[in-house]
Structure 1
């Protein structure tokens, strides 16, 4: 999902991604993972590190294709990256195993970089890799909260990935692929199948947070939806996903 940035034209101001999808994906999986484990005060530091890694990624990727703004973008990438590393020192000291999450993070980011260079950011594979990155953030929050490399961590990643892939399908049907009947059918089938996966995983109550996304898709897929309205729908969807998951997971 392509993030959007506003730069002050006159003085090239601060670079901040403000698309709702990005903010939801950086926070919802992390909260899911934190609640699946044991929430601790120093999760705040880990989240700050995770948030600023997210902030650093946008100008880094944009610098690959915006040559005139490259120096400005890389400056903000360095600023955000430095804050992220500073916030990460204590969590890494407490849980050195967090370092291992850097391996899939870098590998998936390389795929994102390739898509940016090919100007194919809207490709489904690019969305898939970005969503996996955010979902792995949930696994890191779970491990830091006295979790382990176990099935619970796997399901933290899986349920977050499934939810936000559904969002990717839905958003494509109302914007980029609106009018494409195959995409609309794929989105509806995907959301129907989502209801069965939690049962197969042994978490039948996790079906509940996928019901509203299914209703949303059945009602609005393929229709013209204003960006503001789409944003509100997705924010509501993300909030209910976290609240219900917190209760039933």
Structure 2
């Protein structure tokens, strides 16, 4: 009997990954999309958020193709994806500037993070810790950008001249701010911080299961980060900034950071697909917990 060949959709996906059109990392998709969705829902979703989401995803895929192109000895295979995603990202970027010029205030925040990731890719260290963390933080910050747009990108009078435009500089003067910690920029920044902390924690957690499987330093580092974030979530819930579902979930994530490596040591390694799908589920649960009313 002739063994069955690869499924057509899997073959197509492999070709797209091999040529740089899409990323091969399952956890990258929620990291690129969930923060924008959470930020939009936190502040009040607008149709313009679809342009922000599409533009960021296009930029994310351009960055993926650029990283592969920079470190590849034979770059021709990645050139079509690189040029195509560059064009799409540039088109959406122009649209975003037309729709909301004040989004340009965020460029100085993202520029250093993108630069670090690109330099690491050029050095052929695309999977290094600085590269991962810079990409994760950039994606996490889109939650605040989406919230900023949801609340109208309002800035204090004279902000363009006085340099007081940033929401963390004068949050009380911005639309969306309120005395209660469960609303306004205080709430938005706490949600952004906890969501970004989740994605940061996923880096050592996944490494402790795949590339550094069995290394107790990565397991301990992953567990310590999750425990620290749990403490932060407890403090935020005690202040009324987030629902108590958030610290409860973080406690489960901390336990997972210890139990899954222990299970691997006992029964053998988990498949990367299973680990990736588990991260997707954990990400969605984290987002849902942060969106619940305090």
Give the TM-score taking structure 2 as reference length: 0.74
Larger mean Cα displacement after TM superposition, 237-246 or 194-203: 194-203
Q: Distance in 1 between matches of 2:118 and 2:139?
A: 16
Number of residue pairs the alignment of both structures matches = 240
Partner of 2:205 in structure 1?
170
Q: Does 1:241 align with 2:286?
A: yes
Larger mean Cα displacement after TM superposition, 219-228 or 165-174: 219-228
Q: In the alignment, is the contact (CA less than 8 A) between 2:141 and 2:196 conserved in 1?
A: no
Q: Distance in 1 between matches of 2:16 and 2:225?
A: 40
State the 1:115 CA deviation: 0.9
Partner of 2:89 in structure 1?
81
State the 1:24 CA deviation: 0.8
State the 1:26 CA deviation: 0.9
Q: Distance in 2 between matches of 1:78 and 1:6?
A: 21
Alignment of 1:185-200 (within 5 A): 185-200=220-235
State the 1:100 CA deviation: 1.6
Q: Does 1:145 align with 2:180?
A: no
Partner of 1:211 in structure 2?
251
State the 1:248 CA deviation: 3.8
Q: Distance in 2 between matches of 1:60 and 1:14?
A: 8
Alignment of 1:1-249 (within 5 A): 6-7=14-15, 15-66=21-72, 67-92=75-100, 96-146=101-151, 149=167, 150-201=185-236, 202=239, 203=241, 205=244, 206-221=246-261, 223=264, 224-248=269-293
State the 1:31 CA deviation: 1.6
Q: Distance in 1 between matches of 2:112 and 2:224?
A: 30
Larger mean Cα displacement after TM superposition, 162-171 or 66-75: 66-75
Are residues 184 and 211 of structure 1, via their aligned partners in 2, closer, same or farther at CA, if it must alter by over 3 Å?
Answer: same
Q: In the alignment, is the contact (CA less than 8 A) between 1:29 and 1:137 conserved in 2?
A: yes
Q: In the alignment, is the contact (CA less than 8 A) between 1:62 and 1:73 conserved in 2?
A: no
Q: In the alignment, is the contact (CA less than 8 A) between 1:109 and 1:129 conserved in 2?
A: yes
Q: Distance in 1 between matches of 2:46 and 2:30?
A: 21
Structure number with bigger Rg: 2
SS at match of 1:39: coil
Partner of 2:172 in structure 1?
none
Q: Which has the higher contact order (CA 8 A, sep 6+)?
A: 1
Q: Distance in 1 between matches of 2:207 and 2:120?
A: 17
Unaligned runs of 5+ in 1: none
Q: Distance in 2 between matches of 1:177 and 1:163?
A: 19
Are residues 128 and 36 of structure 1, via their aligned partners in 2, closer, same or farther at CA, if it must alter by over 3 Å?
Answer: same
Unaligned runs of 5+ in 2: 1-12, 155-166, 168-184
Q: Distance in 2 between matches of 1:248 and 1:215?
A: 25
Q: In the alignment, is the contact (CA less than 8 A) between 1:46 and 1:91 conserved in 2?
A: no
SS at match of 1:69: helix
